[in-house]
């Protein structure tokens, strides 16, 4: 079979090559078209000529395996792939615009703008991790934004799929990636921890808010290995006006040991979406790096972040969900709220990395003018926040795992559903609606949430009045309803 010549106008499996739009270190990108596909397309072709890095072939094989399995708005759609027997390629959706790399000349960005950028990337990573994929090359040139605003992740040649062979792991012993953004555990051969992507995002956020890379520009292995024991300068040392909540996020992402980072991208996105509720620790006020005694202890403690055995992506996500509980603060709801607390306590007891969002909906009238103060002259919103925190206090959760939110809306069920969708909630716990004539006519809030939510919903009823033998109250009637 004749060798295919990659040039404008060439035909390959029905695709017509246009111009070469990018020449990278491992592949070239060409605009292509096909009569039956109206969308703008790109064809990615690996560099396989004499003298090219053999890792380019392996990474392209990984991308060919992973791309067709990815779905959703945060990844480019894959239309076709070709194997190496004739000509290897992958045809993907062409996202309009340029990558985040084009903004390097504008650094540092305003803090609020950088927060919004990082939130969109964390949301995209959350979606990717739920598809069993770790990107392993998060950097400005791997991120695009759709006209509608969503972040799109590209370049999956270095990625790890939890359900596919990891060819890079099997065939090479050196870590592949972009040195300034590479997580410390990657240097030890760990490729199955999704928190590595959170480290890379922390590097990007540090860089975009300070204009300085936290670990410099070193590409040598010796320079990279220093991050196994040496922390970066706190952003507040470089910029005294750096917001404490933002430093808390950045330094938590950049923790050397993955166990001290955010457990999931969803939890990181939640913090970025609610900076006013971030629980500040000593990280937030630091202006100096760790003392040399700590650095030397890390350097000579070889087991600090050594691989701890195979850790499935799905298992990591399942152990760190975001749980939302809807609390009714009206009079006569104490029994139901106690049942909700018992149910939530059971859930959190088995999930030590889960976080809890306590919700209450301040119902607004459709045509009336709503008063912000109650009959005693107290602010309703503030009063309900206090009530939510009081409800949660017996759970004895660390403050970093707990937030309280009062939603103001005409439709309580709609407000809960919108909050759950926007904040990547994994599990909603809600009390069953009380028997009433309006409920029979309109349906209950819990029924609507259970029917329409895209996550698991547990509907809880208060215990029945009758007692069991021995005078014990029966347990709460909590029913887990998985919503598909």
Give pLDDT tens digits for 193-214: 999 999 999 999 999 999 999 9
Output the DSSP codes for 302-347.
TTSS---S---HHHHHHTS-EEEEE---STT-HHHHHHHHHHHHHH
Rg (CA), the chain: 26
SS3 178: coil
pLDDT of residue 473: 43
> Within its chain, how far is the Cα of 246 from the centroid?
17
pLDDT of residue 52: 57
pLDDT of residue 161: 93
Name the strand (E) or helix (H) holding 440.
Answer: helix 437-442
What are the DSSP E strand ranges found in 300-438?
322-326, 355-363, 402-409, 427-431
> Within its chain, how far is the Cα of 302 from the centroid?
29
pLDDT of residue 365: 64
Residues 444, 439: Cα–Cα separation, whole Å: 5
Low-confidence ranges of the chain (pLDDT < 70): 1-2, 49-54, 172-174, 218-219, 302-312, 331-332, 365-378, 434-443, 464-484
Burial (CB count <10 Å: 0-12, 13-18, 19+), residue 339: buried
CB atoms within 10 A of CB 246: 24
Edge-first strand order for the sheet with 456-461 is 402-409, 355-363, 322-326, 427-431, 456-461, 477-481
Alpha-carbon torsion (72, 265, 421, 246), positive or negative:
negative
Measure the N-to-C terminal CA separation of the chain; round to a whole number of Å: 49
CB atoms within 10 A of CB 37: 15
Residues 355, 429: Cα–Cα separation, whole Å: 13
CB atoms within 10 A of CB 281: 14
Residues 194, 180: Cα–Cα separation, whole Å: 18
> Do the Cβ atoms of 416 and 449 come closer than 8 Å?
yes
Spell out the domains of the chain, with CATH numbers in brackets: 11-93 (3.30.200.20), 100-316 (1.10.510.10), 321-481 (3.40.50.620)
- Angle among Cα 206, 208, 214 to the nearest 5 degrees reads 35
pLDDT of residue 476: 47
Output the DSSP codes for 4-25.
PP--TT-EETTEEEEEEEEE-S
> Do the Cβ atoms of 206 and 254 come closer than 8 Å?
yes
pLDDT of residue 294: 87
What is the pTM (predicted TM-score) of this model?
A: 0.87
> Do the Cβ atoms of 45 and 99 come closer than 8 Å?
no
Residues 249, 253: Cα–Cα separation, whole Å: 6
pLDDT of residue 317: 83
Residues 12, 91: Cα–Cα separation, whole Å: 11
Residues 325, 373: Cα–Cα separation, whole Å: 25
Residues 45, 21: Cα–Cα separation, whole Å: 12
pLDDT of residue 252: 97
Residues 89, 76: Cα–Cα separation, whole Å: 15
The one-character DSSP state at 152 is E
| Helical residues (DSSP H) of 211-264, grouped into ranges | 221-225, 235-238, 244-253
Whose CA is closest to 407, among 391, 423, 392, 427?
423
- Is the omega angle on the peptide bond into residue 244 within 30 degrees of 0, that is, cis? no
β partners of residue 407: 361
């Amino acid at each position: 079979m004749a060798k295919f010549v990659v040039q404008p106008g060439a035909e390959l499996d029905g695709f017509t090559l246009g111009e070469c739009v990018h020449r990278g270190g491992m592949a070239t990108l060409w605009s292509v078209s096909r009569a039956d596909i109206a969308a703008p397309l790109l064809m990615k072709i690996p560099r396989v000529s004499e003298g090219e890095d053999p890792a380019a072939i392996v990474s392209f094989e990984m991308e060919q395996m992973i791309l067709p399995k990815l779905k959703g708005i945060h990844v480019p759609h894959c239309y076709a792939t070709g194997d190496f027997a004739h000509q290897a390629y992958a045809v993907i959706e062409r996202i309009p615009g340029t990558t985040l790399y084009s903004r390097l000349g504008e650094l540092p960005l305003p803090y609020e703008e950088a927060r919004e950028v990082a939130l969109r990337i964390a949301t995209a990573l959350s979606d990717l991790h739920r598809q069993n994929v770790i990107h392993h090359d998060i950097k400005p040139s791997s991120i695009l934004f759709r006209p509608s605003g969503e972040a799109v992740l590209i370049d999956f040649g270095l990625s790890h799929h939890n359900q596919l062979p990891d060819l890079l792991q099997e065939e090479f012993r050196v870590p592949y990636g972009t040195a300034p953004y590479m997580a410390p555990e990657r240097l030890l051969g760990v490729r199955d921890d999704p928190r590595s992507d959170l480290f890379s995002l922390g590097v990007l956020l540090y860089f975009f808010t300070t204009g300085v890379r936290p670990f410099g520009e070193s590409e040598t292995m010796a320079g990279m290995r220093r991050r196994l024991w040496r922390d970066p300068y706190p952003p507040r040392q470089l910029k005294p006006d750096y917001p404490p909540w933002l430093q808390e996020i950045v330094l938590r992402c950049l923790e050397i040991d993955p166990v001290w980072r955010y457990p999931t991208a969803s939890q990181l996105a939640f913090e970025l979406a609610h900076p006013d509720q971030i629980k500040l620790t000593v990280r937030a006020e630091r202006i100096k790096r760790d003392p040399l005694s700590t650095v030397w202890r890390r350097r000579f403690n070889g087991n600090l972040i050594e691989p701890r055995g195979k850790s499935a992506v799905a298992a990591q996500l399942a152990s760190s969900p975001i749980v939302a509980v809807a609390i009714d603060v009206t009079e006569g709801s104490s029994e139901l709220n106690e049942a909700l607390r018992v149910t939530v306590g059971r859930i959190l007891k088995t999930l030590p990395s889960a976080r809890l969002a306590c919700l209450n909906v301040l119902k607004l009238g459709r045509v009336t003018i709503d008063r912000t103060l109650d009959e005693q002259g107290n602010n309703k919103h503030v009063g309900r926040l206090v009530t939510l925190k009081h409800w949660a206090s017996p759970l004895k959760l660390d403050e970093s795992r707990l937030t309280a939110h009062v939603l103001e809306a005409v439709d309580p069920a709609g407000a809960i559903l919108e909050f759950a969708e926007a904040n990547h909630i994994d599990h909603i716990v809600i009390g069953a609606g009380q028997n009433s004539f309006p409920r029979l006519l309109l349906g209950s809030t819990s029924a609507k949430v259970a029917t329409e939510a895209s996550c698991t919903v547990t509907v809880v009823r208060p215990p029945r009045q009758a007692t069991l033998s021995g005078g014990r109250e029966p347990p709460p009637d909590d029913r887990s309803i998985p919503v598909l």
